Structure 1
Amino acid sequence: MIYIILSICCSVTVAILLKLAKRYQISIIQAVTINYLVALSLCFLFFKPDVKLINSTAPWPIYIALAILLPSIFLFLAASVKNLGIVKTDIAQRLSLFIPILAAYFIFKEDFNNLKIIGLALGFVAIFLTFSRKSDQEKGSKGSLLFPIMVFVGFGVIDVLFKQIALYKELPYTTSLFTVFSLSFVVSFLIVITMVISGKIKLQLVNVVCGLILGFFNFGNILFYMKAHKALAENPSTVFAAMNLGVIIAGTLIGVIVFKEKLNKLNYAGIILAIAAVIFITLSQNAVR
């Protein structure tokens, strides 16, 4: 369980860093670029990917799609944390698991049992309640709901694409992961260069420092999550449930207690339903087994 706890800590720490970015005037795109440089370096160090195996037959369309999506969704993630807080953003990210589940049903024709259907129903209600507001609350900021919606959809699509990579047996998963990180760095770097040339941003050392820290914890989340699955190979649903529930609960506690994020009664009801949804989906996986 130590790997799950470490993965949860790394995931929530990423959200905290993004929350603090505004306070210290961090350029998110610069930090994200350094983040991917750190991630691909650590990936090379820990996983020893065999880059010689990468050739023209590799799933390049998926690699390129992920290389564009990953830095883009990171920016939406940062904007969501900034505008709506850690609690709602973490729930949007965790409930994005419904997109690959729906893809499994509609695209891959996977059978659904009653537990999974209940979990999905609870999840969609949870999304509605979590982001509900009082009529007079936060007027003029309706557009900010775009950010968690993009986080929800983006992470869901990314999950589907990574699952497609995992099914590609000609290349080790870690080699594909290294390739995706490398391409994501290139995309982010090109965006930064373009913005610097156009005068929209200036290169600053503080962004490099933030990016180094962000990359360390972002990769730590992936590394410990993979180690947890390896250590509990016979109980993948345990890892799945513990990770998602842990992030939702830890993110909620930190958001409310540390950052004083305000939630109404409907939001709290949404959080409870989100937890229930993850539990039902986990139970549905055990039922299939």
Structure 2
Amino acid sequence: MLYVFLSICCSVIVSILLKLAKRYQIDVFQAITWNYSMAILLTWVFLKPQIQSLQSAPFYIYSLLGFLLPTLFVVIAASVRFTGIVRTEIAQRLSLFIPIIAAFLLFDEKPTTLKIIGIVLGFAAILCSIPWKRERYKTQRAPANSWIYLFVVFLGMGVIDILFKQMALFKGVPYATSLLLVYVISFVIGLLGLVYLFATKKAKFSWPHIFFGWILGIANFGNILFYLKAHQALASSPSIVFSAMNIGVIVLGSVVGLMVFKEKLTVINKIGIALAIAAIVVISYSNIL
């Protein structure tokens, strides 16, 4: 369970860094772009991808992921900034219901009673987590439509999860190699965006943004590395890793958000946290049966 704990910590550290970015005047887009350069390096060092013939590789999946990852990262940063770590983590973790629903609608999987209960609890948790009232933070007022960030995070993470699952099912290319290619595409897309911003003088090159991005990349890759190692160490109990990871991130993220950043939650929001944990437990248990 040590790997699960480390993965949880890395996941929450990513949210903390995104929360601190505005405070230290870090350009989030630059940081996210350079984050992928570090991810490429760490993937090469720790996962040792094999470079081989890629003629049959699913480049349409790589391209979609390469575009969606940095794009959604920016949205997650905005969500953390305007709605807080707690709500954003819940939206990310509950996105797991999208591939479950897709399995019912697209792949003719038969819904079970437990999975239906889990989905209902999950959507109830999302509704309870939405900041229905406009809230004032220390530096600025959150926009009235800040719930849209949560919705996009929820939907985007679900789509990315489906694409990663399809990538993992493709046996023609090792997973580590596919992951490396996705990071390379994400980095290239980010660099093209930066070139445009620099050329139009809408952004300035600065080493602090790069260093911040590299730290972000270490935490981001650590989350993936330790999650994979947890599944390897507990190969016979994937549901334990799955549930412990998702519940752990929600709990730790809530503690950090409430105690460190003094995020304010209503009673309904707190009920949403409880419902989110219950939904993950139900879905995890349904996968055992």
TM-score, normalised to structure 2's length? 0.96
Give the alignment of 1:192-203 within 5 angstroms.
192-203=194-205
Choose the corresponding residue for 2:206, options 204, 207, 210. 204
1:99 equivalent in structure 2: 98
Equivalent-residue separation in structure 2 for 1:71 and 1:256 (angstroms) = 27
Please give the per-residue CA displacement for 1:171-211, whole angstroms capped at 9, x wherever unaligned.
11111001101111000111011111111110111101101
Equivalent-residue separation in structure 1 for 2:144 and 2:286 (angstroms) = 35
Mark the CA change 1:165 to 1:191 in structure 2 (over 3 Å): closer, same or farther. same
1:233 equivalent in structure 2: 235
Q: What is the RMSD computed on CA atoms of the aligned residues?
A: 1.2
Please give the per-residue CA displacement for 1:40-86, whole angstroms capped at 9, x wherever unaligned.
1110111111122322x210111100010000000000000001110
Equivalent-residue separation in structure 1 for 2:51 and 2:67 (angstroms) = 21
Stretch of structure 1 that moved more, 103-112 or 37-46: 103-112
Equivalent-residue separation in structure 2 for 1:77 and 1:218 (angstroms) = 13
Q: 8 Å contact 2:79–2:88 — kept in the other structure?
A: yes
The answer as to 2:34 corresponding to 1:27 is: no
Equivalent-residue separation in structure 2 for 1:30 and 1:103 (angstroms) = 34
Can you give the 5+ residue segments of structure 2 that lack an aligned partner in the other structure?
none
Letter in 1 for 2:215: I
Equivalent-residue separation in structure 1 for 2:151 and 2:132 (angstroms) = 15
Please give the per-residue CA displacement for 1:197-255, whole angstroms capped at 9, x wherever unaligned.
11111011110110110000100000000000000001000000000000000000000
Q: 8 Å contact 1:133–1:264 — kept in the other structure?
A: no
TM-score, normalised to structure 1's length? 0.96
1:129 equivalent in structure 2: 128
Equivalent-residue separation in structure 2 for 1:219 and 1:129 (angstroms) = 31
1:38 equivalent in structure 2: 38
Choose the corresponding residue for 1:220, options 219, 222, 234. 222
What is the aligned length? 285
Equivalent-residue separation in structure 2 for 1:267 and 1:253 (angstroms) = 14
The answer as to 2:51 corresponding to 1:51 is: yes
Can you give the 5+ residue segments of structure 1 that lack an aligned partner in the other structure?
none
Give the alignment of 1:1-289 within 5 angstroms.
1-55=1-55, 57-134=56-133, 137=135, 141-287=143-289
Please give the per-residue CA displacement for 1:120-143, whole angstroms capped at 9, x wherever unaligned.
000001100111434x75687222
Letter in 1 for 2:263: E
Stretch of structure 1 that moved more, 100-109 or 259-268: 100-109
Provide the secondary structure at the position in 1 that maps to 2:23: coil
Equivalent-residue separation in structure 2 for 1:53 and 1:231 (angstroms) = 30
- Over the matched positions of the two proteins, sequence identity in percent amounts to 52
Please give the per-residue CA displacement for 1:20-42, whole angstroms capped at 9, x wherever unaligned.
00000001111111100000111
Equivalent-residue separation in structure 2 for 1:233 and 1:157 (angstroms) = 25
Please give the per-residue CA displacement for 1:62-118, whole angstroms capped at 9, x wherever unaligned.
110001000000000000000111000000000010111111111111122111110
Equivalent-residue separation in structure 1 for 2:9 and 2:181 (angstroms) = 26
Equivalent-residue separation in structure 2 for 1:206 and 1:104 (angstroms) = 43
Letter in 2 for 1:133: W
